[in-house]
Amino acid sequence: MATDSANTEQAPNPNEKLARVFDTEQESEAMIVRGLLESDGIDAEVIALDATQDVLPGVGGTVVLVREEDANRARKLIRESLRSDEDTAEMDAISDPQSEG
């Protein structure tokens, strides 16, 4: 039985060492980070960490995992993206004086 190598490279192999590069409470935010990483050629997996809220209230969230060898590059991309978002928000506040209050 032949395997399609394109399909096997879509997500990290569960037997590979994976590194956690991003944590959030919002699944949508994790999906955006995943898209950012994948647009730069880094395969990423989004995993939900759900806990029963009556047993462990406030525990849970979503994490983004990448191959261990891609972790440093992934973290750098995420930091740069967050910094860029902060800079954009500052520029928006400066250009819209009514937002101050």
Name the pLDDT band for 75 (thresholds 50, 70, 90). very high
Each residue's pLDDT tens digit, 13-29: 567 789 999 999 888 99
Over pLDDT 70: what percentage of the chain?
59
4 domain residue, yes or no: no
**Dist. CA 64–CA 59, nearest whole Å:** 16
Which CATH number do you get for residue 71?
3.30.70.1530
48 domain residue, yes or no: yes
59 domain residue, yes or no: yes
**Dist. CA 68–CA 8, nearest whole Å:** 17
Residue-number span of the structural domain to which 20 is assigned: 14-85
98 domain residue, yes or no: no
Q: Is the pLDDT of residue 32 over 90?
A: yes
Q: How many domains does the chain have?
A: 1
1 domain residue, yes or no: no
pTM of the predicted model as reported, rounded to 2 decimal places: 0.66
Name the pLDDT band for 59 (thresholds 50, 70, 90). low
